[in-house]
Amino acid sequence: MSAVGIVSIALGIFVVCGRGSLLVAPAPTLRWFKVTLASNSRLRTLGALMVALGAAMAWAGASEDSGLAFFLRAFGWGIVGVSMLMLVLFPGAYRAIADPFLPADTGGSLLLWRFRGLAGTLIGVLIIYFGALAL
């Protein structure tokens, strides 16, 4: 089995689960994200998970020479760099950037957040599809 295919499928599942929750239940998802943004330790934990995911992507992308492997390698190193800097080392900077984008009241219409969840879910399904082709 191909490491690129396995990691691509795992990444796609991660994206579908993360963005699918915005599609199905945007208000609870946004509340969870606000709670996560409120604490440095939660942001650092999220950052550590993202660094591990990015490192797995970079490792798998280095094992082959294909378009999907290049995508995994480049995107993986990008995730490692951004997560290490913004989430693990300087969570306050990430909070200052992300907080203005979140709605103050999650009780209103969240149609645009649902569209964002739909777009992310479709991207995740495509990543799973290309990962399955790489197997």
Spell 85-120 as b/e; 16+ CB within 10 A means b: ebbbeebeebbeeeeeeeeeeeeeebeebeeebeeb
pLDDT tens digits for range 46-97: 999 999 999 999 999 998 888 999 999 999 999 999 999 999 999 999 999 9
Percent of the chain with pLDDT over 70: 100
Q: Do residues 110 and 73 lie in contact, with contact meaning Cβ atoms separated by under 8 Å? A: no
pLDDT at residue number 98:
92
Separation CA 32–CA 84 (nearest Å): 21
> For residues 6, 54, 49 and 86, what is the CA-based torsion angle, rounded to 10 degrees?
-160
The whole-model pTM stands at 0.87
Separation CA 58–CA 128 (nearest Å): 17
pLDDT at residue number 53:
93
